């Protein structure tokens, strides 16, 4: 429960923490009592562990620290958190996950153990997902890429005579995804066919994402998209250098196949609509070899469709997003 609480605290920093830092929450427990809590709130604020230690004071001695991410072990704008934890006399640290930052990457745990602190790493999936974009950005120096696609039950991404594959609720979810992403991208085939805006609309948005088109130009007259015509790895590295941590890839199948074949997709988000198309392309063009997904989750999106009778009772659901991710750093 204390690690769950630390994850909740970490979320308080979302939207405030600079792109170069992760979300972190910390809880200090002495006996059965929570004696200190903290989270990183952005530049100029103490790190989560230091904030929690400050709240706990002397009660931190002999206590257990629950923290969502491995305490840092390097000197940056602040001294190493791992050293502060040892100095405070904390007896045990339970960490959600290790820090993939090359400046840390296990060194925080080493400092703790060398200082006589018992260390347990739970390798929490929730802790990984909480900072999924930052983890890829800091360790691989490219944005975390999510490929979003809507398809029918027979695996088609178009429906004859219809502009949309999925319903209104799932399309709203897509605008929420855009609002939460640093950049949104499509291929030039989609640009020429649909002339997409790629803006986040009718949802709360602090700032619009950068809107990109991968492929050979030119862009249609009046398009406000950024054209990225270079090799994918190089383009993603450049975007990372410019502060883009998360990229939402919206299509089409050819561009998706290029990203997948290069190992550049970190998450698949598939909206499966209860429709049959009968013709049209699938979500991904030809791949050189099959690709295995890692963890998969699913949820319902929108209201259920009416029950229909066709000889025997059956029920169908509205478009449902299914997410699959390979192991994150």
Half-sphere CA count of 199, side-chain side, radius 13 A: 10
> Active site includes 49?
yes
> Residue 193 corresponds to which tokens in the numbers above?
């066919």
Torsion angle of the four alpha carbons 248, 254, 257, 259, in this order, in degrees rounded to the nearest 10: -40
Question: Under DSSP, is residue 134 helix (H, G, I), strand (E, B) or coil?
Answer: helix
258 DSSP assignment:
H
Torsion angle of the four alpha carbons 284, 286, 291, 294, in this order, in degrees rounded to the nearest 10: 0
Of 11, 37, 49, 224, the active-site residue reads: 49
H helices present in the chain, as ranges = 2-11, 48-56, 81-87, 107-114, 125-130, 132-140, 168-180, 188-194, 232-241, 253-261
Active site residues: 49
């Amino acid at each position: 429960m204390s690690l769950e609480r630390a994850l909740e605290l970490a979320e308080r920093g979302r939207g405030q923490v600079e792109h170069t830092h992760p979300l972190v929450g910390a809880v200090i427990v002495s006996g059965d009592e929570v004696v200190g809590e903290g989270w990183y709130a952005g530049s100029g604020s103490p790190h989560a562990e230091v904030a929690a230690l400050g709240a706990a004071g002397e009660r931190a001695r002999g206590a257990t620290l629950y923290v969502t991410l491995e305490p840092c072990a390097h000197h940056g704008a602040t001294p190493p958190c791992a050293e502060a934890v040892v100095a405070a006399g904390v007896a045990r640290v339970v960490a959600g996950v290790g820090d993939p930052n090359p400046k840390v990457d296990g060194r925080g745990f080493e400092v703790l153990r060398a200082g006589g602190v018992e260390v347990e790493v739970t390798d929490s999936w929730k802790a990984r997902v909480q900072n999924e974009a930052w983890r890829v950005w800091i360790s691989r120096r490219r944005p975390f890429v999510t490929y979003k696609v809507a398809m029918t039950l027979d695996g088609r991404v178009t429906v004859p005579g219809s502009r949309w594959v999925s319903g209104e609720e799932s399309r709203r979810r897509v605008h929420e995804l855009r609002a939460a992403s640093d950049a949104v991208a499509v291929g030039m085939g989609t640009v020429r066919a649909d002339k997409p805006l790629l803006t986040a609309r009718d949802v709360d948005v602090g700032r619009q994402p950068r809107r990109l088109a991968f492929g050979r130009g030119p862009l249609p007259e009046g398009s406000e998209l950024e054209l990225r015509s270079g090799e994918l790895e190089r383009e993603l590295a450049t975007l990372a250098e410019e502060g883009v941590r998360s990229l939402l890839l919206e299509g089409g199948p050819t561009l998706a196949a290029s990203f997948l074949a290069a190992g550049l997709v970190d998450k698949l988000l598939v909206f499966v609509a209860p429709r049959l198309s009968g013709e049209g392309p699938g979500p991904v063009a030809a791949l050189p070899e099959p690709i295995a997904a890692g963890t998969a989750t699913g949820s319902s999106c929108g209201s259920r469709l009416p029950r229909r009778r066709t000889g025997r009772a059956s029920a169908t659901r509205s478009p449902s997003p299914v997410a699959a991710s390979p192991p994150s750093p």
